[in-house]
Amino acid sequence: MKKNRYIMPALLSAMLMATGCDNRLDVQPTQSIDENVALGTSRDVEVTLIGCYDGLQDVDVYGGAFQYASELLGNADELGFGGTFQNLLEMYNKEMTTNNATATTTWRDSYVAINRCNNVLSALDIVDEDKRARIEGEARFIRGSIYFDLVRLYAKTWGDGDNASNPGVPLVLKPTRGVTDADKIPRNPVAEVYAQVLEDLTKAKSLLPESNTIYATKYAASAQLSRVYLMQGNYAAARDEANEVIASGAFSLNSTFESLFFTFLDNGGANPEEYIFSMIVTQQDGTNDMNTFFGTTISAIPGTAGRGDIRVLAKHRSLYETGDKRGAFFVTTNNTFTQKHLDKFGNVLQFRLAEMYLTRAEANLRLNTQTGAAPLADLNLIRTRAGLKAATTATIESVLKERHLELAFEGHTLHDLKRTRQNVGTLAYNSPKLIMPIPQREMDVNKQLVQNQGYN
């Protein structure tokens, strides 16, 4: 998925020149542009959709923050932190403040991206008919995905108390063009946010094509739906969405685990066959904040980079069985780092096929079904690819362990612990310390917001 932050400014400049007055000194104010001018043609809406993707892969959204927030908040002595950024240190220590920079910018930039999607969805009637369904599907996929991760990070997890009354996040479903009192709305309940997420993603799935170069597809929507349903404990639906992705034949497991992550260094930017959806990073555009914080520069591997702030500790490495190739997929200098995020221009992974196999295996086990394949077969696909002997039995515990090792450092840790009701170290899964604060700047300007428990 290509990001181009220069398209929108260029378009607006061209529009201003094309509609300017004959007298070059007779200049109209341009602090804002009427929506009928800014979104006047199908092409304008298509360019705005590119802006939606740009917002999606912002480093404070799916370009890193959603993922590293889950890893740091869900960490229980498997990761170390040696950086100087206070916002990440607060996450690592589970002592976030209402002025935490990541909590603030992730909220802000997520709603910027959502507003772009709302602009696209409000102008579908002017989109060329042959493009309308796809464009609506892409905008709904982006909006639904962002709302899903916002409600997972800023609200109580699904099933912790009353979903119908627990505050979620504000649902803004129409374009906001200048903030008025009417735009200052309260937090919708968790249940309402999930309902909107499912509506957006289900509609997106029905509208998106099966293949779409580097943009969202039907199968990306299915992969995201499988996560939503898994989070809700709707195992039949999670299983069926994962099975649909697997059965499509559109993706295949890489033959080796090690070939999955150096997308620029080894593949020139191309996604491996296992990737269902990722954020494309190039030498010209885009940033991968998983590389920024998990990566480090290795002189023997040109093209590697990163601050080396997040290190892997012995507790995590001790979890791997002897012979597990994943247990060797680390590099040690003064500290130990995962190799998953060394590639400076590596794509920011969102969904890959191994996750779908593990979701299907877990759901089948919980339901005592064998939709698509027996749970043991799915489990062993992942184990044997990692160089391990095939297991003889599959249990919920063995599948969850395999999931933890296979998907380590990819943004799943906190959410998997919460949905399975496991402690994070000494903290209960529903501890207020594992929920991000509503940013203080939002509380100051919108008195209808209520703060999360434990924050002043």
Tell whether 452 is covered by a domain.
Answer: no
pLDDT tens for 161-186 read 999 999 999 999 999 877 788 889 99
Tell whether 453 is covered by a domain.
Answer: no
**345 phi and psi, to 5 degrees?**
-110, 25
User: Could you tell me the pLDDT band of residue 141, with boundaries at 50, 70 and 90?
Assistant: very high
pLDDT at 9: 35
Buried b or exposed e, range 316-351, using 16+ CB within 10 angstroms = beeebeeebebbebbbeeeebbbbbbbbbbbbbbbb
Q: From 340, 421, 315, select the one nearest 75 (Cα to Cα).
A: 315
Q: Where are the beta strands (DSSP E) in 147-281?
A: 275-279
Low-confidence winner among 3-7, 139-143, 185-189 (lowest mean pLDDT)? 3-7
pLDDT at 145: 98
Low-confidence winner among 166-180, 331-345, 408-422 (lowest mean pLDDT)? 166-180
| Polymer length of the chain | 456
Residue 114, judged by CB atoms within 10 A of its CB (0-12, 13-18, 19+), counts as buried
User: Could you tell me the pLDDT band of residue 200, with boundaries at 50, 70 and 90?
Assistant: very high
- Per the prediction, the chain carries an average pLDDT of 92
Please report, to the nearest 10 degrees, the dihedral formed by the alpha carbons of residues 323, 327, 331, 332 taken in order.
-90
User: Could you tell me the pLDDT band of residue 285, with boundaries at 50, 70 and 90?
Assistant: confident
Tell whether 253 is covered by a domain.
Answer: yes
Residue 196 is part of a domain; what is its CATH number?
1.25.40.390
Tell whether 9 is covered by a domain.
Answer: no
pLDDT at 456: 77
Helix (H) or strand (E) holding 81: strand 79-81
Stretch 277-300: mean pLDDT, rounded?
91
List the domain range (segments joined by +) for residue 424. 40-433
User: Could you tell me the pLDDT band of residue 74, with boundaries at 50, 70 and 90?
Assistant: very high
pLDDT at 37: 57
Stretch 310-336: mean pLDDT, rounded?
97
Stretch 303-316: mean pLDDT, rounded?
96
User: Could you tell me the pLDDT band of residue 38, with boundaries at 50, 70 and 90?
Assistant: confident
pLDDT at 96: 98
Q: From 261, 271, 167, select the one nearest 212 (Cα to Cα).
A: 271
Q: What percent of the chain has pLDDT over 70?
A: 92
pLDDT tens for 184-197 read 999 999 999 999 99
Helix (H) or strand (E) holding 80: strand 79-81
User: Could you tell me the pLDDT band of residue 300, with boundaries at 50, 70 and 90?
Assistant: confident
Q: State the total domains in the chain.
A: 1
314/80 Cα distance (integer angstroms) = 10
**Backbone dihedral region of 421: left (phi > 0), alpha (psi from -120 to 50 degrees) or beta?**
left
Q: What percent of the chain has pLDDT over 90?
A: 84
Amino acid symbol at 406: E
Tell whether 7 is covered by a domain.
Answer: no
248 DSSP assignment: T
217/350 Cα distance (integer angstroms) = 13
Higher pLDDT, 402 or 27: 402
Query: What count of other Cβ atoms lies within 10 Å of the Cβ of residue 406?
Result: 20
Q: What radius of gyration do the chain's Cα atoms show?
A: 22
440/273 Cα distance (integer angstroms) = 43
Helix (H) or strand (E) holding 132: helix 129-154
pTM, entire model? 0.91
The pair of three-digit structure tokens given for residue 389, joined into one six-digit string: 């002997």
pLDDT at 258: 93
- Looking at the predicted structure, is the pLDDT value of residue 27 above 50? no
Buried b or exposed e, range 2-25, using 16+ CB within 10 angstroms = bbbeeebeebbeebeeeeeeeeee
Q: Where are the beta strands (DSSP E) in 259-354?
A: 275-279, 310-312, 330-332, 336-338, 348-352
pLDDT at 8: 36
Tell whether 174 is covered by a domain.
Answer: yes
Q: From 148, 150, 122, 149, select the one nearest 135 (Cα to Cα).
A: 122
Tell whether 5 is covered by a domain.
Answer: no
Residue 390, judged by CB atoms within 10 A of its CB (0-12, 13-18, 19+), counts as exposed
Stretch 68-88: mean pLDDT, rounded?
98
The pair of three-digit structure tokens given for residue 2, joined into one six-digit string: 């290509």
Tell whether 47 is covered by a domain.
Answer: yes
pLDDT at 182: 82
